[in-house]
Copies of this chain bind each other. A is one copy, B any other.
């Protein structure tokens, strides 16, 4: 079986590493000659919407998946008309548009921050009467890691914030007074089988995920599972999904979902019986899903902008290194490391050591 992947970065790389033991082969489409998955797969070098390369991908792959949600609709349609594409195009359409996404959550009975569409400065001004300050203006499409966003602290910010959208349709969202950010990762197969991972508790800085910790037996687990199940079933979803939630005193408010393997689930490689990467493959191949039970305590630390010295990092007991074969530059995710142990004290100590190394290496 050959799995095609749109995108050949670190997510494709980790999918391929999980897939070889299952006897799979891979073909990726990526414009970067040095894409991280290139050495592990047949590499179609070119643009994501190159018609000839997409035709080749559809021809050679038994099933196609992707490592980013901003797959153009016509690309997803073309691929879907020639081969299996999972997750389904309908999930892409919703995930690509923050307004559709928030309306979708509302339709499913999943709480969100207050929000409104803003197609003009006048819309924005009107909406703020209901939403209140502070709030955040986001472009409906594209943007990640805090890009394409503007904070609104008072009416004086509105005009500049609107200008920064450069005419793009936008959504304005009220701030949520939350205690923590969590995400739930789940996999669903074509048979309807669903596997839920333990919640991740996620810490961001500068709009970028820094640390994700596995939360075994979390009080919010069952509500999060209920929410992500609604989403999976409504979309007739196949593959791994990540649903990001704000935990506001036991009330969970959905922020967004990613129709793909997710950075907040990288700890599952060591910290769960079956990684999110393997379960994504099992799901899209309609194989039985693997156990998502945690293996002790586990967390992941991202390396942004710079790397730690390998030997220093590997000297930390029970630390695991995951390099992406990316050249470090400001703000770029270049690696992650996992800590996994059966002892809570060793876990806390190791996580602190990893976080210190990541902070020292960070030049963003």
Q: Which positions in A face B, CB cutoff 8 Å?
A: 13, 17, 20-23, 25, 39-41, 273-274, 282, 287-288, 290-291, 295-296, 310-311, 314-315, 317-318, 320-323, 325, 335, 340
Contacts and interface: CB of A to CB of B under 8 A. Distances in A.
Given A17-B20, A291-B317, A273 B340 contact: yes
Given A13-B20, A17-B21, A40-B39, A314 B287 contact: yes
A325 B322 CA distance: 25
B17 A325 contact: no
Main secondary structure of the interface of A (DSSP, over half): mixed
B21 A39 contact: no
B314 A288 contact: yes
A13 B21 CA distance: 9
Contacts of A13: 20
B273 A287 contact: no
A290 to B, nearest CB: 7
A23 B287 contact: no
Nearest to A307: B23
9 contacts: A17-B20, A17-B21, A20-B40, A20-B325, A21-B322, A25-B39, A40-B40, A282-B314, A287-B314
Contacts of A21: 17, 320-323
A364 B41 CA distance: 33
A334 to B, nearest CB: 10
A282 B311 CA distance: 9
A315 B288 contact: yes
B295 A314 contact: no
A23 B318 contact: no
Contacts of A295: 295-296
Given A21-B320, A39-B40, A291-B318, 10 more contacts: A17-B20, A20-B40, A21-B322, A22-B321, A23-B310, A23-B335, A273-B318, A274-B320, A287-B314, A288-B314
Name the residue among A20, A282, A310 with the largest chain B CB count within 10 angstroms.
A20
Contacts of A315: 288
A20 B321 CA distance: 10
A24 to B, nearest CB: 9
A311 B287 contact: yes
Contacts of A317: 291
Contacts of A291: 317-318
A288 B20 CA distance: 27
Nearest to A322: B21
